[in-house]
Amino acid sequence: MEDEVVLLASSSSAVVSMNGGGEGNTSYADNSNFQQLIASVTRKARRDMAAALYRARGRPASLAIADLGCATGPNALLMVSDAVDAVLAESKSGGDEGAPQLHVFLNDLPANDFNAVFRLLPSSPLAGTGCLVSAWPGSFYRRVFPDASLDYVVSSSSLHFLSKAPSMATEHLNRGRVHVTEAGPAAVLDAYRAQFHADFLAFLSCRAAETRARGLLLLTFVARRDARPTAHDCYLWDLLADALMDMAAAGLVDEEKVHSFNAPYYAPCPDDLARVIAKEGSFALRTMQLFDTTRRRLLGPSHPTSDGDDDDEFPRWLAAETAGTYRQGSRRAYAADPLRLGRHGRALLQVPPPARGILPQEVYQEQG
C-alpha cells in the first residue's frame, strides 16, 4: 500500500523514467514491444532519411547520429543501428573509397540503464561497423551535447513524456482523473498543452544549438489526430483513473492524491507540433506523417490478437513522425539548397519552402 502512495506523491513532481534493463514484470526491457512496433513502422522512412542526409552532405568522412531517449533493452540500439546500416549501405552502393566514421550518441535520463545498453553492443548490428558509441546522460529538455556536434537526430516514443506534470490553476481541477479526458475541463487540456509547448520549445532550442547546419531531426511521438482529444485518445488513462479511484474507495490509496495527481504525458496533435516548430524558428518542417498503430494494423489483419478482443475497441494510437531540417542564415536559403531527397517520393519533395512566417505542414495518413 505504501508503494502506491509514494508513486502518486512523487510522480507529480519528479521526472519519470523507464525501469531498468533487468528482468521481471516491471522491466522496461521486457515491456517495450509497442515501442518496437512503432519503430518497425517508421523503419523505412528513417533509413531513407539517413541515406539521403549522407548524400546531401556530399558523402562526408564522418557523421554523428544521436538517439534522444534511447531507453534500455532491445530497443535502445534500434534507431541508431538502422541509421548506421542505412548510411553504410549508401556508402557502399555509392562506391565510396572508405566507409565514413560514424559516431553514435545515445541519450537518456541519468538513471537509465546504460550498462545494459553497453552490454548489448557486441551482439548488436553496430558490432563490426567501426562506429564509435557514447552515452550522454541528461534531460533532453536541457543541453546534452556540444555545440554543432550532431548531424542526424532521432527520438522515438520519448517526446510525449513531459518534463513535469502541468501546473493546474487549482490543485483539484482534474478531480478523479490523471490525464486529459474527452469531457474534462478545457483548462486541463490547456494546462497540458502549455506544458508540452514549453517542453518541446526547450527541446528544439537545445537541439538547434547542438545540430550542425543542414542536420536533420526525426521525431516520433505518440500523437492524437485532432486538437480535441477523443474518447479513444484518453481510453487507457481513463481506465487507470477509474482503477485508482476504486483503490481509493477501498482505502488502498489516498483519494486526495488521486485528485491532485496528473501524469506527465501528452500526445500532441499535428497542430501542436507545427506551432512550436514555427515559434522556435530554427528548424523547417519537411514532413509530418501519422502512422496508425492499432495492434491489428501493426500485426496485420491475419494476425489474431492474443486475447481474442476485438482490436477496434482499442484506442487508435498514432505515431506522428516529424522531420525538421536545421538551417543557418536566412530562411530562404532552404529553398535554394534543399536536401536531395529523391528517394522519398512526391510527398517530401512537395513540401514548399517556408514563407509568410508560418512553416509549412502536411499531414499524411497512411493508406491502410
**Under the rule (CB under 8 A), what is the footprint of a copy of itself?**
62, 64, 101, 103, 105, 110-111, 113-115, 118-119, 121-122, 132-138, 143-147
Name the residue nearer to a copy of itself (CB basis): 101 or 350: 101
CB of 106 to a copy of itself, least distance (A): 9
Name the residue nearer to a copy of itself (CB basis): 106 or 284: 106
Cα 127 to chain centroid, rounded: 25
Name the residue nearer to a copy of itself (CB basis): 117 or 285: 117
CB of 70 to a copy of itself, least distance (A): 13
What are the grid coordinates assigned to 11, written together?
510522480
Name the residue nearer to a copy of itself (CB basis): 149 or 176: 149
CB of 119 to a copy of itself, least distance (A): 7
Which amino acid is located at 354 in the chain? P
CA distance 311 to 23: 28
Do the Cβ atoms of 149 and 206 come closer than 8 Å? no
CB of 278 to a copy of itself, least distance (A): 28
Question: Measuring CA to CA, how many Å separate 262 from each of 13, 37, 312?
Answer: 10, 27, 27
- Residue 361 CB: number of other CB atoms within 10 A? 18
Q: Where do the DSSP E strands lie in 145-294? A: 150-156, 211-223, 283-292
Which amino acid is located at 82 in the chain? D
What are the grid coordinates assigned to 219, written together?
521525431
CB of 86 to a copy of itself, least distance (A): 20
CB of 334 to a copy of itself, least distance (A): 27
Left if phi > 0, otherwise alpha if psi is -120 to 50, otherwise beta: which for 258? Answer: alpha
CB of 213 to a copy of itself, least distance (A): 18
Name the residue nearer to a copy of itself (CB basis): 19 or 195: 19
Name the residue nearer to a copy of itself (CB basis): 133 or 178: 133
CB of 130 to a copy of itself, least distance (A): 8
Neighbour-count burial of 84, counting CB atoms closer than 10 A to its CB (0-12 exposed, 13-18 middle, 19+ buried): buried
Name the residue nearer to a copy of itself (CB basis): 93 or 123: 123
Name the residue nearer to a copy of itself (CB basis): 8 or 133: 133
Name the residue nearer to a copy of itself (CB basis): 115 or 167: 115
CB of 320 to a copy of itself, least distance (A): 29
Question: Measuring CA to CA, how many Å separate 362 from each of 38, 148, 285, 352?
Answer: 20, 28, 9, 10
CA distance 339 to 286: 10
3-state secondary structure 134-177: EEEECCCCCCCCCCCCEEEEEEECCCCECCCCCCCCCCCCCCCC
Question: Measuring CA to CA, how many Å separate 251 from each of 205, 246, 289, 354, 360?
Answer: 45, 9, 45, 56, 52
